[in-house]
Structures are given as C-alpha cells and as structure tokens.
Amino acid sequence: MIDEEKFNKVYDKFTRAFGKESEMRMCIEEMSELTKELCKFMRYSRNDKSDENDKKLEDIKKNIIEETADVIICASQIKRLFGDDEVEKVMNYKIERGEKIVDDFISKHKIGD
C-alpha cells in the first residue's frame, strides 16, 4: 500500500527544500480545504434529491478524497517532524480510550442487540 521508506525520503526532501514552518503552513491549508469540502458535503446532503444535486455531491466526494489524501500526507509529515514514536504512543492511548468509551456507550444503549 504505502511505501513508508519512500514517503519518509520525500518528507525529508520537503523539509530540506521548504523548511518546517512551510510544512506546518501547508498542513493548515490542507486541513482547511478538507474542512470546507466536508461542510459542503453536509450542506448538499440535506438538499432535495435531484440529478443536479447528486452530481454536485459526487464532485464533492471526489474533492473530499483528494483533500483527505493531502491531509494524511501533511499529517504524516507533521508526525515525522515532531516525533513519530511520541505521536504513535499518544495515538495508541487515544484509540484504546476511545474503544472503551464506545464499548460503554454500546453497552449502555444496548446497540446491536
């Protein structure tokens, strides 16, 4: 799937060429673009169903996919800049905590019974 070794070499090139601050700004920009597309998707999802609206939703979905890829690339770069191991440690903690929260919620609300 993703060749992490290749990506890491490219991330290093980005940082050498443009600097850390530029990489952080790019990440902010890409997150903003994804936010905009997600907001548009929610707005158009509420609209009446029509061929024109369905076409617009398909275009927005394509944009969401592209912007998601951009955000993941930039977030991976930020992770690398600030410490892969530290970020992964916090990610593991948050996933485990989130799993407990959702399991408690499912149990309390008898979801899936």
What confidence tens digit (pLDDT) does each residue in 13-70 have? Answer: 999 999 999 999 999 999 999 999 999 999 999 877 889 999 999 999 999 999 999 9
pLDDT at residue 113 in the model: 60
Domain regions of the chain by residue span: 4-82, 84-113
pLDDT at residue 2 in the model: 82
> Of 77, 50, 45, which is closest to residue 61 (Cα–Cα)?
45
Average pLDDT rounded to a whole number, residues 80-89: 96
- Cite the DSSP H helix spans in 3-113: 4-18, 20-46, 51-82, 84-109
What is the model's pTM? 0.88
The token pair at 83 is: 């410490």
Between CA 74 and CA 94 the distance in angstroms is: 20
The token pair at 39 is: 């907001």
Phi, psi (rounded to 5 degrees) for 112: 90, 0
pLDDT at residue 49 in the model: 82
For helices 4-18 and 20-46, angle between their N-to-C axes, nearest 10 degrees: 110
Query: Which stretch of 16-20, 75-79, 108-112 has the lowest confidence by average pLDDT?
Result: 108-112
